[in-house]
Amino acid sequence: MCETIGFSDWCILRQLWWGHRIPAYFVAVTDGKIFIVFQVYLHAMIRDAHGRKMSKSLGNVIDPLDVIRGVTLAELNHQLTAGNLDAKELAIAQASQVSDYPKLRRGYQPLALLTSYIPLCTSNQGIVECGTDALRFALLAYTSQGRDISLDVLRVQDYRFFCNKIWQAVRFTLMQLGSEYKARPFADYWLSLSEAVGIPINPYTCLFNIPPRFMISGSTICVTSTWNLLSQQSHQYPFNVEQVEADVAFAVNVIRKVRSLRPDYELTNKTKTDVVYASVGSEDDHRCLTLLIPLTETLASSNKVEVLLHSTVTPESIPSGCAHVTILSRCSVDIGLQGIINVERELVKLVGKKEKNEALVAELLQQEGRPDYEEKVPLPVRVANTEKKEALLVEMKSIEAAIAAFSG
């Protein structure tokens, strides 16, 4: 938000400043190859609470600075009288302000999980002081509804209370945890856990520092203040830990692969496997997955997860009857299915699937072997056939590994 003081008039209807000023660059492009602007985002049009376009003749103009700092009804009326409205329009505008900003009762707003209170509002008519965080948050929330924003200052006030609750909840939680509380450092950096597994995981883990990062674009002051209160953080927000992000990406991939095998063997969410063996080639990957054993056990629906190094794996390390999958040549996973599935039936299914894939590959090879294949078959179709053949060959290797595991 910025004031219009010092700006020369260019259009009387454009003297309201909603949002930030746009940085303008004067660039001479001669060859057309370099252009610094690739995307332009247009904010929704802001109207009054009744959906009408803000107009000086209607007297329904809402100055963003008034929402941030607060303003009394008397001051709003003075803004009308300082304009160029005639007596009839002035009376209508003043009556509209009285109805839009009624005298609010004096009271208190209870906070969730707290015994403290904050003032709900003052007894004066007008716009209560909401602050920049609440206004930004309200505009973001309104934008999801469509191209027009019917701005209700009472809703902005509600978001002020919401931001205050975030602040108070952080302080209350830290007070209850005490100075000896130690968070799980690696799990706290898990940014995409719900997306990785595709299911709600609220019963299993609570990520204390994720909501502030989610809200940073809308409530900058609230978020940066509460973030700095977190006792486990020695750095200021924002931060970037590339190694942790790489470890999380690898761990997410492993968990996805483990979960993707379950439907192949008709395992329900309630069916737990006895053990999952994860074999990795490096000490770093071993450390990464070892730190996440408790979470992997939960998300993979397994009673136990063992992380092994390729150099230490022997034929006796992994028993027969395991489903096998390889992940990016960095990790191989074996899921113990002994006593859970019918091995003979699974072998029949795997053999049938392998024969089906072999027939499809043979058909594709036959098509590629035709003399006029390059001339008559369009390039996109040839590319699609090649990709399909490669995918079938990869799947066949996995099927052969599974057959060998069940047969052993």
Express each pLDDT in 180-192 by its tens digit: 766 555 555 554 4
Using 50, 70 and 90 to split pLDDT, how confident is the model at 359? very high
**Structural contact between residues 149 and 45, judged by C-beta atoms closer than 8 angstroms:** yes
Range of the domain at 292: 242-334
Which of 170, 196, 216 is the endpoint of a domain? 170
Longest Cα separation, the chain: 95
**Which residue is associated with the tokens 């505008």?**
93
Q: Is the pLDDT of residue 10 over 60?
A: no
**Which residue is associated with the tokens 């859970």?**
340
Q: What CA–CA distance (Å, rounded) separates 234 from 360? A: 58
**Could you tell me how many residues make up the chain?**
408
**Structural contact between residues 276 and 171, judged by C-beta atoms closer than 8 angstroms:** no
Q: What CA–CA distance (Å, rounded) separates 4 from 141? A: 26
Type of residue numbered 358:
E
Q: What CA–CA distance (Å, rounded) separates 184 from 291? A: 9
What are the φ and ψ backbone dihedral angles of 400, each rounded to 5 degrees? Answer: -65, -40
Using 50, 70 and 90 to split pLDDT, how confident is the model at 360? very high
Q: Domain check: are 38 and 121 in the same one?
A: yes
Q: Answer yes or no: is 231 within a domain.
A: no
**Structural contact between residues 285 and 330, judged by C-beta atoms closer than 8 angstroms:** yes
Q: Domain check: are 314 and 373 in the same one?
A: no
E-strand stretches of 246-403: 276-280, 305-309, 322-327, 331-336
Q: Answer yes or no: is 198 within a domain.
A: no
Which of 170, 187, 217 is the endpoint of a domain? 170
Q: Which residue has the higher pLDDT, 125 or 95?
A: 95
**Structural contact between residues 124 and 72, judged by C-beta atoms closer than 8 angstroms:** yes
**Structural contact between residues 303 and 356, judged by C-beta atoms closer than 8 angstroms:** no
Q: Which residues face 108 on adjacent strands?
A: 119
Q: Is the pLDDT of residue 350 over 70?
A: yes
Q: What CA–CA distance (Å, rounded) separates 210 from 250? A: 20
Q: What CA–CA distance (Å, rounded) separates 140 from 131? A: 15
- How far from chain centre, in Å, is Cα 263? 26
Which of 153, 170, 187 is the endpoint of a domain? 170
Q: Domain check: are 99 and 137 in the same one?
A: yes
Q: Supply 401's token pair.
A: 């590994």
- Radius of gyration from C-alpha coordinates of the chain: 31
**Structural contact between residues 344 and 376, judged by C-beta atoms closer than 8 angstroms:** no
Q: Answer yes or no: is 216 within a domain.
A: no
Q: Domain check: are 301 and 352 in the same one?
A: no
Q: Answer yes or no: is 120 within a domain.
A: yes
Q: Domain check: are 32 and 65 in the same one?
A: yes
The 10 Å Cβ neighbour count of residue 360 is 14
Q: Which residues of 137-164 are buried (b: 16+ CB within 10 A; e: fewer)?
A: bbbebbeeeeeebbbbbebbbbbbebbb
Q: What is the mean pLDDT of the chain?
A: 74
Tens digits of residue pLDDT in 121-133: 444 578 888 888 8
Q: What CA–CA distance (Å, rounded) separates 166 from 223? A: 9
pTM of the model: 0.42
Tens digits of residue pLDDT in 49-62: 888 888 777 778 88
Q: Domain check: are 17 and 166 in the same one?
A: yes
